[in-house]
Amino acid sequence: MTKIAEQINFNYIDSTLEELEQDAWDRLFIGATKSRDSFHTPCVATINQGDVSIRTVVLRKAIPSTKELRFHTDIRSRKWAELEQNNSISALFYDASARIQLRVKGKAILHVNNEITSEAWQKTTLSSRKCYLTAFSPSSFTESSTSGLSEDIEQENFTLLESEVGQKNFGIVSIKVESIDWLWLNHAGHRRAFFDYKNDSYQWKIP
């Protein structure tokens, strides 16, 4: 539980904008580190030639000091190509127990074959490396039902060394957060706040 939530037992009525902003980042930080946390698997939306495109991802890192969120993906995926065309990105988080929704907007920075990806790749497990070992690109249509992996890879009959070929497909999307729209559902009246990092302003909103 975050510091502020502990103190006020999920009651944000008397919180200041600064406390709420801090709480949002505490929650994002926990979401990135705890796999069972509600904020661990946000939905991330991109733009595909004017159409909205949305999917679930695993939040891997939240860096409050630089207002950055990161997730891992295959650089052959549709989302990667979409972000290369248009780096606008939005991430949606909802914690049902705290009744908090965060609507994050920002610009994506795509990391591939650099220090950030190498360091993260070294920490990946055999199981998560499987995602980057398909012979064909993610989203390719197939004749029959398949994971796209050989049986050996499916059964994890491969060594860490053999899995190194997957590194060329491994990318990290970093979201440079430009704003957070914070919403708290409360029976006696919801609360909403907007944290605008581009204009350095925090404001209340009608929910």
Our finding on whether 55 is near ligand FMN (CB under 6 A) is yes
Tokens standing for residue 183: 């919403």
Our finding on whether 169 is near ligand FMN (CB under 6 A) is no
Interacting residue with ligand FMN among 17, 47, 58, 112 (CB under 6 A): 58
Please name which of 197, 204, 202 lies closest in space to residue 178, comparing C-alpha atoms.
Answer: 197
User: Shortest distance, CB of residue 187 to ligand FMN, whole angstroms?
Assistant: 30
Do 166 and 160 meet the contact criterion of CB atoms below 8 Å apart?
no
Interacting residue with ligand FMN among 33, 35, 139, 203 (CB under 6 A): 139
Residue 17 vs 120, nearer CB to ligand FMN: 120
| C-alpha dihedral, 122 to 128 to 129 to 135, nearest 10° | -160
48 CB neighbour count, 10 Å cutoff: 15
Residue 54 vs 165, nearer CB to ligand FMN: 54
What is the DSSP track for 54-76? EEE----EEEGGGTEEEEEEETT
Residue 5 vs 172, nearer CB to ligand FMN: 172
Our finding on whether 79 is near ligand FMN (CB under 6 A) is yes
Binding site for ligand FMN (CB under 6 A): 41, 53, 55-58, 71-73, 77-79, 138-139
